[in-house]
Structure 1
Amino acid sequence: MTRIITLFCIFIAQIGFSQSAESYLEKIRNNEALLTAFFQQMPKGGDLHHHFSGSVYAEPLLERAIAEDFYLNLETMAVSKTKPEKGKWQTFSSIKNDGKLDYYEQQVMQTWSIKDYNGSVPSDDQFFDSFMKFEPTIAGHFAEGMLELKKRAIAENVSYIETQLSTIPCDMNVSDLVDFNTKLRQAASQKDEKAVLKLLDELYKSLQKKEAKKYADDFNTNFLAKLHKDLKIDDEKFTMRYQNFVLRFMEPVDLFKNLVIAFISSSESKLTAGVNIVSPEHGENSMKDYWLHMVMFKYCHSKFPDVKYTLHAGELTLGLVQPEDLTWHINDAIYIAGANRIGHGVDIAYEANSYDLLKYMAQKNIPIEINLVSNEFILKVKENRHPFTLYKEFNVPIVISTDDAGILRSNMTEQYVLLAKRYPDVSYETIKKYVYNSINYSFIQDTSVKKQLIKDLDNRFKIFEAKFSKN
């Protein structure tokens, strides 16, 4: 990186600081080294589509597993603090004593991330399967990861991250409510929204009696606020907020329970920045219950109208699912769930009445979170196949994000390099607009914090663009 920045400085010196940032960008469109230096230094605002566990790089996770002498599954490269009953497991200390640590370190790195990916397994499996394999190294170590992300963000001129930090722990017993799983799915199979909402209302009342609020309060006070304050996350250079999220693969009652708690948490803490839903969108339960999940969000919005939410929707492509499954996910996320932002949105060209949907997103200022590196690796969608130009054509607000920079071995700078190189009609001023979108369309609850971030962004761009002015 030092050599790239030096090259950048030499070039600027040679042209005598005689042009604008925009004209300089046009000259370097096809030079990735110069683009990297340019965007590394350019202010990049916020990263709004960001998974905490997938954004921490594998190296510190592996170091932690070795230092704490985790058990390693020699076949899958999963780790565990205690030895599971099934599988071929061995401690890192014994692996080291056998002289095989270097070998397995390399295997772990290639399994927990896309390092040296060679296509031996499907790319979507490589990506999604990695989470559970390194997840045991995250527990109890959120602080180290948050500080790593903050340091990296500051280094590449990112001033805000809106991360999906953790699910909200909950040991509530809902065994007496399992019959609702069948009832909800039966109503959903008929697309009987009225019946579903009635069932959800019954469930909601039961969850209130089971003190759902106490789980949200405990998470907000004893985990989120304490961690954020103790680490001094917010300062003059950087700000972080947190999205609560639920897991798509869960049974309806468990998912709704967690969703209600997530909404309660977001409604009562200014550190939270709304709610999301995650896990592979093409998974069995994800596909089967997708419409039902959207109605659940609609119901929770009726109870907590001030809570914002962004939804992973349309992270699908032709071949991954059947063609008919590409036609309705973004539609339902917007028209039924009422999403405030959409994450990925890759299948938009296949969505029913896609032009009307795009016009609606533009009219209602519903941004799309564009994740170029992620979409290329997981879905094999890039360049002219990527719907970025479609969203741009219809003036849908666009924000540029990383998704899971650790697993993908990427960063925010690379997203902008790909954007500038692949889409030469995107001007510097348009890119700058996307940067400001990342703050303007964030879910920061405190308006004074958002205003300060915009003011700071103004100053950062002033400093950056001065590099291209005449002496």
Structure 2
Amino acid sequence: MTRIITLFCIFIAQIGFSQSAESYLEKIRNNEALSTAFFQQMPKGGDLHHHFSGSIYAEPLLERAIAEDFYLNLETLQVLKTKPAEGNWQTFSSLKNEGKLEYYQQQIMQTWSAKDYNGSVPSDDLFFDSFQKFSPAIDGHFAEGLLELKKRAIAENVLYIETQLNTIPCDMNVSDLTDFNSKLRQASAQKDEKTVLKLLDELYKSIQQKDAKKYAADFNTNFIAKLHKDLKIDDDKFTMRYQNFVLRFMDPVDLFKNLTIAFISANDSKLIAGVNIVSPEHAETSMKDYWLHMVMFKYCHSKFPNVKYTLHAGELTLGLVQPEDLTWHINDAIYIAGANRIGHGVDIAYEANSYDLLKYMAKNNIPIEINLVSNEFILKVKENRHPFTLYKEFNVPIVISTDDAGILRSNMTEQYVLLAKRYQDVNYTTIKKYVYNSINYSFIQDESVKKQLIKDLNNRFKTFEAKFNN
């Protein structure tokens, strides 16, 4: 990478630039090698849609699994530290002794990530199934992962990451509350928000009595704050904050318990930037309980009005779900849940009253987190099928992000290369605006930190643009 940057600078010097960065980008936007060198060096602000586990490349995870001699399931290619009672499992050391390690290494790389993807399985299945296959190699190694991400961010001129690091561990016994599952789903089926909110109020009081605050405090102090401080994550080159998240596939009581604790955690720590909800949006429970989940966010916001949250909404496309299910997810995320940002938003063109929805997002400064590589791989949505231009036409604030760069074998630079190549009317000034959006619309709680990042971004752009004025 150093050699590429050096050659790029020599090239600039040789042609004796009297032109601006904007005019240069117009010349090279269709040449991926030249635009990659350009965007690699361009300051890229923050990555706001970022999953920690999906952003770690497969190589270090596999190296760790081999070094710690994990068990490998020879059919699914999942790894575990201890051998289950059922299934065809073998240690990596035994595979090595049998001369089979290299073969399985190749298979694992193609199963844990999009490397050499050939369409043998649906891309969305490969993506979402990969997490459980490699997750045991992440457990207990968050420090190594955070340092890997920081190093990579600095190398490609990314100042800030807002990552979804880990769910909050919680062994709270809620077996006495399981009746709420059916009650909440019954009320949800009737879209009876008044009854749902009343049930959530009862549930919230019970969860509070079970010392929910203790779990949030332990997570904030003994996990987030300790890691962040011990690793010296923040410095003059890089800053990181964290999003709590809950899993869509859980039953309502468990999900609401976790959501409550996530909001308490975010409310009590400046390192926790906000809250999110994850897992495949098109899965059975995700679809069935989606409206209910949005009401849960609305309820938690009423208890913790200062906590920000971004929601994965509209990560859907025609064919993945029934047409009628493309019409309401972003609407509900904004109008019911009150999301501060929207992640993906791919089905916006199908949403009911989409023009009014887009105008509302623009008027209320609700940004859309655009993930070009992710949307292409998982949903097969790209170029003019992608709603990027629709958001742009309605002046919805746009931020560019990676989603899961490790699984997708991508980085932030590639997102901008694709943006410039696919959308020819997006000039340098507009791209620069998106970069600033990624700091201005971040959920950083400390305004002094945000102001310092903007100041740093100003200086970096000044240095970058000076290269084109020699």
Question: Shared topology, TM-score over 0.5?
Answer: yes
Matches within 5 A, 1:24-423: 24-423=24-423
- Taking the aligned partners of 1:7 and 1:386, their CA distance within structure 2 comes to 34
- Taking the aligned partners of 1:380 and 1:360, their CA distance within structure 2 comes to 27
Q: % of aligned pairs identical?
A: 89
State the one-letter code of the partner of 2:36.
T
Q: Using the TM superposition, give the Cα deviation of residue 6 of structure 1 relative to its aligned residue in structure 2, in angstroms.
A: 4.4
State the one-letter code of the partner of 1:178.
T
- Taking the aligned partners of 2:326 and 2:3, their CA distance within structure 1 comes to 44
- Taking the aligned partners of 1:399 and 1:330, their CA distance within structure 2 comes to 17
Mapped contact 1:4–1:34 kept (Cα < 8 A)? no
State the one-letter code of the partner of 2:214.
K
Q: What is the DSSP-based 3-state SS (H/G/I as helix, E as strand, rest coil) of the residue aligned with 1:116? A: coil
Number of residue equivalences = 470
- Cα deviation, 1:315-361, whole Å, max 9, x if unaligned, reads 00000000000000000000000000000000000000000000000
Mapped contact 1:4–1:36 kept (Cα < 8 A)? no
Q: Using the TM superposition, give the Cα deviation of residue 18 of structure 1 relative to its aligned residue in structure 2, in angstroms.
A: 1.4
- Cα deviation, 1:60-81, whole Å, max 9, x if unaligned, reads 0000000000000001100000
- Taking the aligned partners of 2:223 and 2:11, their CA distance within structure 1 comes to 48
State the one-letter code of the partner of 1:439.
I
- Taking the aligned partners of 2:67 and 2:45, their CA distance within structure 1 comes to 35
Q: Using the TM superposition, give the Cα deviation of residue 86 of structure 1 relative to its aligned residue in structure 2, in angstroms.
A: 1.3
- Cα deviation, 1:13-54, whole Å, max 9, x if unaligned, reads 232021100000000011000000000000000000000000
Mapped contact 1:361–1:367 kept (Cα < 8 A)? yes
- Taking the aligned partners of 2:331 and 2:63, their CA distance within structure 1 comes to 43
Q: Using the TM superposition, give the Cα deviation of residue 10 of structure 1 relative to its aligned residue in structure 2, in angstroms.
A: 3.7
Q: Using the TM superposition, give the Cα deviation of residue 11 of structure 1 relative to its aligned residue in structure 2, in angstroms.
A: 2.8
State the one-letter code of the partner of 1:363.
K
- Taking the aligned partners of 2:458 and 2:424, their CA distance within structure 1 comes to 25
State the one-letter code of the partner of 1:251.
D
State the one-letter code of the partner of 1:462.
K
State the one-letter code of the partner of 1:179.
D
Q: Using the TM superposition, give the Cα deviation of residue 3 of structure 1 relative to its aligned residue in structure 2, in angstroms.
A: 5.2
- Cα deviation, 1:338-395, whole Å, max 9, x if unaligned, reads 0000000000000000000000000000000000000000000000000000000000
- Taking the aligned partners of 2:389 and 2:236, their CA distance within structure 1 comes to 35
- Cα deviation, 1:175-217, whole Å, max 9, x if unaligned, reads 0000100000000000000000000000000001100010000
- Taking the aligned partners of 1:392 and 1:91, their CA distance within structure 2 comes to 51
State the one-letter code of the partner of 1:393.
E
Q: What is the DSSP-based 3-state SS (H/G/I as helix, E as strand, rest coil) of the residue aligned with 1:48? A: strand
Sort the Cα spacing of 1:145 and 1:79 in 2 relative to 1 into closer, same or farther, 3 A: same
Provide the residue aligned with 2:441 in structure 1. Answer: 441
- Cα deviation, 1:207-262, whole Å, max 9, x if unaligned, reads 01100010000000011101100000000000000000000000000000000000
Mapped contact 1:7–1:34 kept (Cα < 8 A)? no
Q: Using the TM superposition, give the Cα deviation of residue 4 of structure 1 relative to its aligned residue in structure 2, in angstroms.
A: 3.7
Mapped contact 1:263–1:275 kept (Cα < 8 A)? yes
State the one-letter code of the partner of 1:275.
V
- Taking the aligned partners of 2:255 and 2:397, their CA distance within structure 1 comes to 30
Unpaired segments of 5 or more residues in structure 2?
Answer: none
State the one-letter code of the partner of 2:108.
V
TM-score by length of 1: 0.99
- Taking the aligned partners of 1:461 and 1:163, their CA distance within structure 2 comes to 24
Provide the residue aligned with 1:461 in structure 2. Answer: 461
Mapped contact 1:4–1:33 kept (Cα < 8 A)? no
TM-score by length of 2: 0.99
State the one-letter code of the partner of 2:268.
E
Q: Using the TM superposition, give the Cα deviation of residue 2 of structure 1 relative to its aligned residue in structure 2, in angstroms.
A: 4.6
Q: What is the DSSP-based 3-state SS (H/G/I as helix, E as strand, rest coil) of the residue aligned with 1:396? A: coil
State the one-letter code of the partner of 2:187.
A
Mapped contact 1:69–1:93 kept (Cα < 8 A)? yes
Provide the residue aligned with 2:11 in structure 1. Answer: 11
- Taking the aligned partners of 2:107 and 2:123, their CA distance within structure 1 comes to 16
Mapped contact 1:44–1:435 kept (Cα < 8 A)? yes
- Taking the aligned partners of 1:235 and 1:130, their CA distance within structure 2 comes to 33
- Taking the aligned partners of 2:29 and 2:48, their CA distance within structure 1 comes to 26
- Taking the aligned partners of 1:3 and 1:464, their CA distance within structure 2 comes to 17
- Taking the aligned partners of 1:309 and 1:275, their CA distance within structure 2 comes to 5
RMSD over aligned CA atoms reads 0.7
- Cα deviation, 1:434-462, whole Å, max 9, x if unaligned, reads 00000000000000000000000000000
- Taking the aligned partners of 1:305 and 1:8, their CA distance within structure 2 comes to 48
